[in-house]
């Protein structure tokens, strides 16, 4: 883990293509370490969610390169190693387990639906919460869950038209996305118990992810143009 953080810290300070290409060997070493961490997490989380065991770590990780076409920040690289592990790999749906390693205490463990641009997905989850409000309330208040997470997400100011503003879970019907983030410090990352800690947190989010994935069972990813 220290190898990963050291490389990313240097990349952050030298965020340009010449430096990146001149330090390809350091990248390969750090990336190999990250892939090993992802493989270990797949095995550990897979003990209670076998739908992810088929994943190849290389297929669930994201590239360092940034798309700068529509950004004021023209830095070519994101100094972070990221992965999303689900039954269908790194696609945003079905939802799964997200890990971002970024130096300066900006790492986190995540889950749920981060994207809010899929209107069909938002509607499916709102409808499912409406129909299963008691289950939703129970799982997000469970002590194993609240030890690590609170539900976040982009939200409207008011409950959208067509939904009961007096519903017990009305606050969550305002959401357009529903996701979790558990901050992880650099000290926690480099501690001997990082993998057990991360595994515990990811297992605690499984009922939450399962709820969203049941809601999204009929969702179809939009075809690329």
Take residue 81 and report the two structure tokens written for it. 């190693």
Mean residue pLDDT of the chain comes to 96
Return the pLDDT at 193: 97
Alpha-carbon gap, residue 145 to 156, rounded angstroms: 25
Return the pLDDT at 62: 97
Phi-psi region of 105 (alpha: psi -120 to 50; beta: other; left: phi over 0): left
Return the pLDDT at 225: 65
Which of 221, 208, 222, 223 minimizes the C-alpha distance to 125? 208
CA 100 to chain centre: 8
Return the pLDDT at 221: 87
Return the pLDDT at 70: 82
Which of 72, 76, 73, 92 minimizes the C-alpha distance to 84? 92
pTM of the full structure: 0.94
Residue 61 near residue 38, CB atoms below 8 Å: yes
Q: What is the pLDDT along the chain (225 residues), one digit of tens a residue?
A: 999 999 999 999 999 999 999 999 999 999 999 999 999 999 999 999 999 999 999 999 999 999 888 888 889 999 999 999 999 999 999 999 999 999 999 999 999 999 999 999 999 999 999 999 999 999 999 999 999 999 999 999 999 999 999 999 999 999 999 999 999 999 999 999 999 999 999 999 999 999 999 999 999 988 776
Alpha-carbon gap, residue 106 to 112, rounded angstroms: 19
Alpha-carbon gap, residue 83 to 85, rounded angstroms: 6
Strand partners of residue 179: 112, 152
Alpha-carbon gap, residue 78 to 7, rounded angstroms: 12
């Amino acid at each position: 883990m220290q190898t990963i953080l050291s490389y990313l810290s240097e990349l952050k300070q030298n965020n340009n293509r010449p430096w990146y290409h001149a330090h390809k060997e350091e990248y390969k070493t750090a990336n190999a370490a990250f892939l090993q961490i992802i493989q270990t997490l797949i095995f550990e989380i897979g003990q209670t969610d076998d739908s992810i065991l088929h994943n190849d770590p290389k297929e669930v990780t994201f590239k360092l390169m940034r798309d700068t076409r529509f950004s004021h920040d023209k830095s070519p690289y994101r100094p972070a190693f990221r992965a999303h592990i689900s039954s269908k790999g790194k696609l945003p749906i079905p939802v799964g387990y997200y890990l971002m390693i970024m130096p300066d205490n900006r790492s986190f463990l995540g889950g749920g639906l981060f994207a809010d641009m899929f209107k069909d997905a938002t509607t499916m989850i709102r409808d499912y919460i409406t129909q299963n409000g008691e289950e939703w309330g129970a799982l997000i208040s469970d002590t194993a869950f609240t030890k690590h997470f609170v539900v976040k997400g982009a939200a409207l100011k008011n409950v959208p038209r067509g939904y009961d503003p007096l519903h017990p879970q009305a606050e969550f019907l305002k959401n357009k996305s529903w996701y979790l983030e558990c901050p992880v410090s650099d000290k926690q990352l480099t501690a001997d118990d990082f993998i057990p800690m991360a595994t515990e947190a990811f297992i605690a989010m499984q009922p939450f992810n399962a709820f969203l994935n049941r809601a999204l069972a009929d969702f179809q990813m939009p075809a690329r143009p």
